[in-house]
Amino acid sequence: MKFVHIADMHFDIPFSTLAKNDLGNARRLEQRQIFKQIIEYIAQNEIDHLFICGDLYEHEYIKQSTIEYINNLFKEIPNTRVYIVPGNHDPIIKDSYYNNYNWNQNVVIFDEEIRKISEEEVDIYGYGFNDFYRQNSNIKEIKIENPNKINILLTHASLDASEKEEMQYNPISKKELKSLGFDYIGLGHIHKTNYKEETNIIYPGSLISLGFDELGKHGMIVGNIEADKNLEIAFVPVDKKEFVEQEILVDEQNSQEDLIELLNQVQIDENKYYKIVLTGKRNFEINTYEIAKQVQNKNILKIKDHTSIKINLEEISKQKSLKGIFVKNMLEKITQENKEEILKAIEIGLEAM
């Protein structure tokens, strides 16, 4: 049986990072185009199953027109069974479109009860969120009913969650999952793929990158499981756009105008969105807000200042002058938590003097 496994599409997400640059609407259109490409891939390659492991859309923002667009695409692959497990952003609650919309007949939507769907060659178990948080789904209690068939588990979960926040999103132990004996476990929730050929517990990652906390390639998992339980999987990138960080050394720039000119000369890939990280020893106070307004390339979305002051503060602090006393008192206030703020305050104070 051939399958495609995706997760975390987040249809109709506001794209707050891109909204400031008027790119949010363009990114939402790209979401639609990429989803359509996946449906076309499924049709062309006669894929048996499409697994969508949570956060297909944003419950707070989703429009009915978007739901209709998604469902119309499902109609184009009538011979493919579409399995959806709602996640924490699209839970199957009272006013959910999962409850209040007439989905195409090839669509199966799991709810908060662990359920098994039997097909000729495969048994598919699934569990979905019925709220925005879930701490115990009892997945570890599942007993596979027919070990001779292909057995697949689909859910939205935090694998080996260690942080308190992640413990609220269906935490599951990888060790416990392995012990259940499934031939493939499709997960959603983590936006970075963990694809490795030697494992069968897979996060495909978010289908498209949603911001600078999701660097790298994004796409889908394409797999095949033979009757003898042999599993073959591959990660297929589908998002043409990529969020990247690029460091720029500012040691040689002597003014804000010099820095803006430097940024305008940066070689830009049109298919990438950039966060520029300024590094090195600066010769002037850097105002990233003002600089960002004057940078010409719209693909530079963020500018972060990670530079440090070029002057020798220890030497100045020894001077018997107003500057020396100021710097000495400020250096005494530095802690690990406030170091960046104190150094910035020193820089501004010295410029004022």
Six-digit token string for 317: 């602090």
Helix (H, G, I), strand (E, B) or coil at 103: coil
- C-alpha–C-alpha distance, residues 144 and 125, integer Å: 9
Q: pLDDT tens digits for 152-173?
A: 999 999 988 777 777 788 889 9
Among 15-29, 70-84, 107-121, which stretch is predicted with the lowest mean pLDDT? 15-29
| 203 and 194 Cβ atoms separated by less than 8 Å | yes
Q: Is the pLDDT of residue 72 over 80?
A: yes
Sole residue written with tokens 């500057």: 323
The top-scoring range by mean pLDDT among 16-20, 160-164, 186-190, 341-345 is 186-190
- C-alpha–C-alpha distance, residues 166 and 131, integer Å: 15
Residues of the chain with CATH 3.60.21.10: 2-237
Instruction: Residue 266: count other Cβ atoms within 10 Å of its Cβ.
Output: 14
Q: Please provide the average confidence, as pLDDT, over all residues in the chain.
A: 91
pLDDT at residue 164 in the model: 73
Q: Is the pLDDT of residue 19 over 70?
A: no
The secondary element (H helix, E strand) that includes residue 271 is none
Q: pLDDT tens digits for 294-343?
A: 998 888 988 999 887 777 788 888 888 888 888 889 888 888 788 878 88
Read out DSSP for 291-316?
HHHH---TTEEEEEE--EE-S-HHHH
Q: Is CATH 3.60.21.10 what the domain over 2-237 is classified as, yes or no?
A: yes
Residue 43: Cβ-neighbour burial (10 angstroms; 0-12, 13-18, 19+): middle
pLDDT at residue 169 in the model: 87
Characterize the bridge pairing of strands 219-225 and 2-6.
Answer: antiparallel
pLDDT at residue 320 in the model: 85
Long-range contacts of 231-237 (CB under 8 A, 24+ apart): 231/183, 231/184, 231/200, 233/195, 233/197, 233/200, 233/202, 235/193, 235/195, 235/204
Q: pLDDT tens digits for 45-54?
A: 999 999 999 9
